[in-house]
Structure 1
Amino acid sequence: YLEAHIRSVHEGHPKPFLCRNCDKAFTRYEQLRSHMRNVHPAAVASNEASGELELICEQCNRRYSTKNALGEHLKRHAQQKPHICEHCGVAKVTRTELLTHLRIHNPDWEKFKCKQCPQLFRHKSAISRHVRVVHEGQRRFQCSHCHKRFGTHASQVRHERLHIASF
């Protein structure tokens, strides 16, 4: 009975959440988290402290730090483009990509164009930060726990929360 249940209910379902410690695959993120806590507790503590990525795409082995990021990535493999531009009908995989695309329909976004890439910005401070972090590689902000450096304060704060969560 159990084998029949497994075949009928579980086989054939995608298992995008891979354990990088033993390569076991899971259909849901919560299953992976439970597996990690029960089977690899030392790895969980180490991963959280270091900020390492723990979610792996089973189709291309790219690593992600959040369930949402992996989910958006999986849409690319499935060719899903649910975000449609109301101006020209172009379809995008993520809402962020659609928002970036919408800039071409709004002349205000033309105010500040990066000279090194196609990015457009509405404010001078935003393009300055972009150039400093992306093109010049400046990392002004440092983690007070492990001394890792970040380009923005928001990235530093997000990283430092991992240290606090591991205590």
Structure 2
Amino acid sequence: MSHCENTTIEKYYCKNCNFQTELSTIFKQHLETHLTKKQTLSHEEYSVRNYVCGKCTFETHSCINLLQHSIHCWSSTEKKGSVRYSCHQCEHKYKDLHSLRKHTILKHLNTNEIMWHHCTKCPYKAKLKTYLKFHMSCQHSNENDIKWHECQKCPFKAKQSSNLRKHVNAYHLDEREVKWYECEKCPYKAKLSSNLRKHAAAQHLGAKKNPKQKVHTTWYKCKKCPFKVKYKSSLKRHINAHHLDENEVTWYECKHCPYKAKQSSNLKNHINSHHLKEEDVKWYKCESCPFKAKHKSSVNRHVSVQHVDEKDVVWYECRQCPYKAKRVSYLKNHVRIRHLDDHDAKWYGCDQCPYKAKEKAYLKKHINAHHFNKK
């Protein structure tokens, strides 16, 4: 929290093992596991400096208790939206304490400090009660019991009103009505804050303001191949696209042609590229040249490659050769094509001849060049 800069987060470290925590009650319970029945625990063995509120005399050993106290203390003395609350452990800032508390629980609490919310119907568990409610609504509700939130401009519908708002903001608002989230390090901007965070993690993780600052990345690794990614949702998409049997895949089928896709986003891109009338296409234009594209991601790639000054470029360098790229996706493709062993690569085989390729795009080019419209 801002105005409480005089309090630094101190952890409790066990002298008998590697255990550590920020909560005194949890730490005291842990220490008791090392004691014999005749031993007692003195206060000095687990005391650290208190967290002190910057507005009143309140102090506590627990950062969570301080957050809970501050919600009431600060709300009574500050105007809403006038304060930005800073996380003590990273650079994130929030307009309200509820968001800061949510961030602290999700990002900075150890597993044994979290009060898990368990699903009664499957092994799923969540760090926040709202996440559990969302899970129950999506996974365990009967179709007839679901209250769908429908878009008034297209067939889209969602189980959560927040998802409908995101959809409307992403697809149906005029450019001047959109609240853009802009990247501080490149021309990228997004309609959703989550997309901006993903962009920053993927493209600028190595370009830190403070070179000494340690950036922790949690990688989600595929159990069936060397693939790893920073987001759990991306890992799920990877598994669905590459490792599920055909009968296990949920296909998204085009109503206009035989095309089908494993991801709804790919189907949307297909319809936008092949079945929309020219006057119905929403073009995304480059502000620096005549380039335009049907997909905003294509414009973002174009801008990062063509219009960013050399001194501002964050280069992604190959560890095995002099190759370097302006986008991490280009480097990944390079490594997969040039340096991955044949037995580790995922091959895309032609069903009409022995041709195979490491890139699906190359297979499509081959089919269009050699087999398209051939009987």
TM-score bracket, normalised by the shorter chain, equals 0.3 to 0.5
**Could you state the TM-score of these two structures normalised by the residue count of structure 2?**
0.22
Report 1 or 2 for greater relative contact order, CA contacts < 8 Å, sequence distance ≥ 6.
Answer: 1
Over alpha carbons, which structure has the higher Rg?
Answer: 2
**Could you state the TM-score of these two structures normalised by the residue count of structure 1?**
0.44
Name the one with the larger helix percent. Answer: 1
